[in-house]
Structure 1
Amino acid sequence: MTVEPAAPQSRPGRTPRLPRTARRFQLLGAAREVFVAQGYHAAAMDEIAERAGVSKPVLYQHFPGKLELYLALLEEHSEKLVSSVREALASTTDNRLRVERSVRAYFDFVNDPSGAHQLVLESDLRSEPAVRQRVEDAFAQCVRAIAATIVADTGLSQDEADLLAVGLVGLAETCSRWWLVRGGTVPPERAIEAMVELAWHGIGGYPRSSPASDGAGPVTDVGAVTDVGAG
């Protein structure tokens, strides 16, 4: 009787071989936990490898160094935030809902239990040009998305729309972070509602361009504008 060869056993404390994509996902998850808990400077590749259950050579096969690993995480999570804002804007034609969902995107982002928002909004590595560039790019993409919607709906100049968009993004980012630091003492739904009211009473005052005006200029009935899409 022939004996079947025993299945290869993984070394104690090490995870079994994974496809490259799955391994990368695993390594990024372990790195996120370490970076969030300790910050960039205190984090060590040894600890990240141990957290992932792999050897350091395996970690270095995927990421040449700690900075490249950090940048990969920053790219992943900044894109999540940008995508959430874009989805909020595309989800409705009701402008008040657009404001609400955009603000909510920031509150949801900072309130994620993973703490990944710290990499994007509170990085301790802003002095590194590559990190600063990615953080600023994420901010700029959110601003551009909101500004494009403002231009399309109001006919304001690009510069004015950009300024308004920067104000809305700044409000959403700063207030959501402050809310989290304060321990969410204001219930999240109430916090979002308060920020939306603050933003909407300003943005809602800008007249919306009316297709029916046939180029005659924007509508001037501000009261009607604030009810647009309220259906």
Structure 2
Amino acid sequence: MTAVGNGTQTAGRPTRLPRSARRRQLLAAAQEVFVAQGYHAAAMDDIAERAGVSKPVLYQHFPGKMELYLALLDTHCDMLVATVQEAMRGTLDNKERVSASVRAYFDFVDHESESFRLVFESDLRNDPAVRQRVERVEQGCIAAITDTIISDTGVSRAHAELLASGLVGAAETAAQFWLARGRQVPKGEAEALVAALSWRGIASFPLQGESA
């Protein structure tokens, strides 16, 4: 089995990677093993072998399989939340914000399909620590959209959160369905369809100072 990454050996001797680089290498190997085998079937031996390191090296960075799995979830959850936050900050055009939010989810499942399955289709969804992280990414995305809706429309936080949760739910569910059905609709068309559906609802709330 080949090792993840390059430069793990030089002239037959292990190369000492910087700690941050080694951590990224181990996380990449763990993701491949977890996605291929599922959490319960995966073993630390498999991950160490996939990364091309010894088990002691792996345990230097992660004390156990669960800690390694949670570190992967944190990385991908933070990435998705940051993408949605950037979608809110990237333009003042609310229609484009809706499109960018939907696009964030489709990009995530398209380019990071392994990451998406790790976060949203985990066989550990009922574990409290895993469930907390999945809820955190959903709440982080909702919060980013909620703040923008409040700032632009002046509606109450309760109303804004409900609208934001609807947008996030539609984007997440549609993107997951699109991936599961083998990307039958071209990605750009799929994004446009979901964005148009969401925008027709959001657009009924005018900007502050404008009449409905």
Please indicate the TM-score interval, normalised by the length of the shorter structure.
over 0.9
Q: 1:69 to 1:150 in 2, by over 3 A?
A: same
Aligned equivalents of 1:37, 1:143: Cα separation in 2: 30
2:66 counterpart residue number: 67
Alignment of 1:42-61 (within 5 A): 42-61=41-60
* Maintained 8 Å contact 1:33/1:114: no
Structure 1 residue 118: deviation in Å?
1.2
1:27-86 per-position Cα deviation (integer Å, ceiling 9, x unaligned): 001001111112111111111000000011110111000000000000000000000000
Aligned equivalents of 1:79, 1:107: Cα separation in 2: 16
Aligned equivalents of 1:24, 1:114: Cα separation in 2: 21
2:4 counterpart residue number: none
Q: Which amino acid aligns with 1:132?
A: R
Structure 1 residue 9: deviation in Å?
4.3
Aligned equivalents of 1:37, 1:209: Cα separation in 2: 50
Q: Which amino acid aligns with 1:209?
A: Q
Structure having the higher Rg: 1
Alignment of 1:211-230 (within 5 A): 219-220=210-211, 222=212
Structure 1 residue 116: deviation in Å?
0.8
What RMSD, in angstroms, separates the aligned Cα atoms of the two structures? Answer: 1.3
Aligned equivalents of 1:88, 1:147: Cα separation in 2: 13
Structure 1 residue 18: deviation in Å?
1.3
Structure 1 residue 16: deviation in Å?
2.3
TM-score, normalised by the number of residues in structure 1: 0.85
1:148 counterpart residue number: 147
2:24 counterpart residue number: 25
Is residue 171 of structure 2 the alignment partner of residue 172 of structure 1?
yes
Is residue 80 of structure 2 the alignment partner of residue 108 of structure 1?
no
TM-score, normalised by the number of residues in structure 2: 0.92
Q: Which amino acid aligns with 1:115?
A: E
Aligned equivalents of 1:10, 1:162: Cα separation in 2: 57
1:103-128 per-position Cα deviation (integer Å, ceiling 9, x unaligned): 00000001125611112111211221
Q: 1:203 to 1:113 in 2, by over 3 A?
A: closer
3-state SS of paired residue (1:42): coil
Aligned length: 203
Is residue 97 of structure 2 the alignment partner of residue 93 of structure 1?
no
Is residue 207 of structure 2 the alignment partner of residue 208 of structure 1?
yes
> Following TM superposition, where does structure 1 have runs of at least 4 consecutive aligned residues deviating by more than 6 angstroms?
none
The runs of 5 or more residues in structure 2 that have no matched partner are 1-9
* Maintained 8 Å contact 1:88/1:98: yes
Aligned equivalents of 1:80, 1:124: Cα separation in 2: 21
Structure 1 residue 101: deviation in Å?
0.4
The runs of 5 or more residues in structure 1 that have no matched partner are 1-7, 211-218, 223-231
